[in-house]
Amino acid sequence: MTMPPTRTTLMVFALCSTLIYDLVHGTMPSSHLDTGSLLPHLEAQLLGVFGLRRRPRPRRDAVIPPYLLEMYRLHSGEQPSAGTLKDFAFSERAASIANTVRAFYHEESIEELDVSPANAVFRATFNLSSIPPGEAVLAGELRIFREGHRVAAPDYNGHLRINVYENRQMGRDLTTRLLDTRVLHVGSTRWESFDVSLALLRWTRVPDSNLGLTLEVTSLNGTSDGILQRTWHHVRISRSVGAPQHNLDTHWPLLRPLLVTYSHDGKGQALRGSRRKRRARRGKKHLRRLRANCQRHMLYVNFTEVNWNDWIVAPPGYQAYYCQGQCPFPLAEHLNSTNHAIVQTLVNSVIASIPRACCVPTTLSPISLLYLDEDDKVVLKNYQDMVVEGCGCR
């Protein structure tokens, strides 16, 4: 008999964890299984649950953007770090329609097209080939970090404009199309978000049209010679800014421009719609239920036990739960039974060859997983039907 996919998923997790534990602790004789063939098969099934072709093996220097870590905390019911909620205005809108978030750093190196006293122009390209063909990209943002900077000049008002353009090929000529623009005061330190959704939609439909983005930093008055050159250095677009080299080596991987895509693979609900709330403690009455009856039991899936903690960033594991117990006659109300299960149990009380109703998951919820994929790209994804929330006799 073929089991429902959701229960199969949980049983594969449980079986894999049990096998790993027994093998490590020597409680299972080697004659009971062929570890050379069974464990790789189980790992392949587990990877299939996450939609991966093979086990990711990230580089040791792989960088996890703090932005995605905070987004994971937000959508997992945890409290984000203080002062970060204002940074999620774009992502909150996009997460209401997307179940997958991917992060892309620009391909080294950023090309410096023009730098003058009143203008600085750069070109950045991003490799999006790791986005699966069947995944619909719905929105995207370019995030640029800027450090606060004071400029003492009588004719400088402290404001500059950042324009983000899509590069487009028109015949033999390379042209640009404005995607987003923002006027900023140079005195504040923060990440800035620019909407580049239109370019991403084109690039995913026609991959050859991905010619990257052009970033332009412009002084709003442009009258002070050298002022812009001293201020755009604090907009972290290029690695070759005016900070000491040891600071660049330490901070540049975390501060470089970041392209964030929001997509949906057609499976399940969006990230924001699935945000889990912490469960309240249940009363003693619940704990006194007969343990033999159908109910939910603990099943913790520990990613370290299957040696996946090198590519799964968060969580380190999760409580999957499982359903087990009897469905006795007569079925009590708390057993969450269907009419069919009640009838089947009644018939079983008369005809023993008819099986009793089974204890199965009745409600399941998703989990959010932050991980590095096969291409060392950081992904935040919502996986459906991973946690048993309720059990019943069916």
Q: What is the pLDDT of residues 57-92, one digit of tens each?
A: 888 878 889 899 888 988 877 766 655 556 666 777
| Res 387: pLDDT | 93
- Tell me which residue of 306, 253, 314 sits closest to 59, measured CA to CA: 253
338-to-163, 290, 329, 341, 388 alpha-carbon distances in Å: 59, 20, 14, 5, 18
Bond preceding residue 109 cis, omega within 30 of 0: yes
pLDDT mean over 208-216: 92
Contacts of 317 (CB under 8 A, 6+ apart): 300, 301, 302, 303, 304
Which of 135-149, 212-226, 323-337, 346-360 is most confident?
Answer: 135-149
Q: Which helix (H) or strand (E) holds 360?
A: strand 359-372
pLDDT of amino acid 9 = 42
Task: Name, in order, each residue with C-beta under 8 angstroms of 370's C-beta and a sequence gap of 6 or more.
Answer: 64, 68, 69, 72, 312, 313, 314, 378, 379, 380
- pLDDT recorded at residue 34: 53
Considering the domain architecture, whether residues 258 and 275 belong to the same structural domain is answered as no
Quick check: 127 pLDDT over 60? yes
Is 239:154 a contact under the CB 8 Å cutoff? Answer: no
Q: How many domains does the chain have?
A: 2
Are 248 and 290 part of one and the same domain? Answer: no
- pLDDT band, residue 284 (cuts 50/70/90): very low
Q: Is there a domain that residue 305 lies in?
A: yes
At residue 283, the pLDDT reads 43
Q: Let me know whether 160 and 274 are in one domain.
A: no
**What's the chain's length in residues?**
394
What average pLDDT does the structure give for the chain? Answer: 75
Same domain (yes/no): 326, 223:
no
What pTM, to 2 d.p., does this model score? Answer: 0.76
- Residues 105, 201, single domain; the answer is yes
Residue 320 vs residue 226, higher pLDDT: 320
> Between 35-49 and 5-25, two packed helices, what is the crossing angle to 10 degrees?
140
Residue 91 lies in a domain: no
Tokens 């421009």: give the residue: 257
Range 21-29 average pLDDT: 41
Q: Are 259 and 180 in contact (CB under 8 A)?
A: no
Q: Are residues 211 and 137 in the same domain?
A: yes
Q: What is the pLDDT of residues 308-345, one digit of tens each?
A: 888 999 999 999 999 998 887 776 766 667 777 777 77
Q: Given a cut of 80, is residue 275 above it in pLDDT?
A: no
Where residue 137 falls (left for φ over 0; alpha for ψ -120 to 50; beta otherwise) is beta
Max CA distance (Å), the chain: 96
Q: Is position 82 within any domain?
A: no
In angstroms, rounded to a whole number, what is the distance separating the alpha carbons of residues 134 and 241? 39
Instruction: Pick the last residue of a domain from 233, 264, 295.
Output: 264
pLDDT attached to residue 270: 80
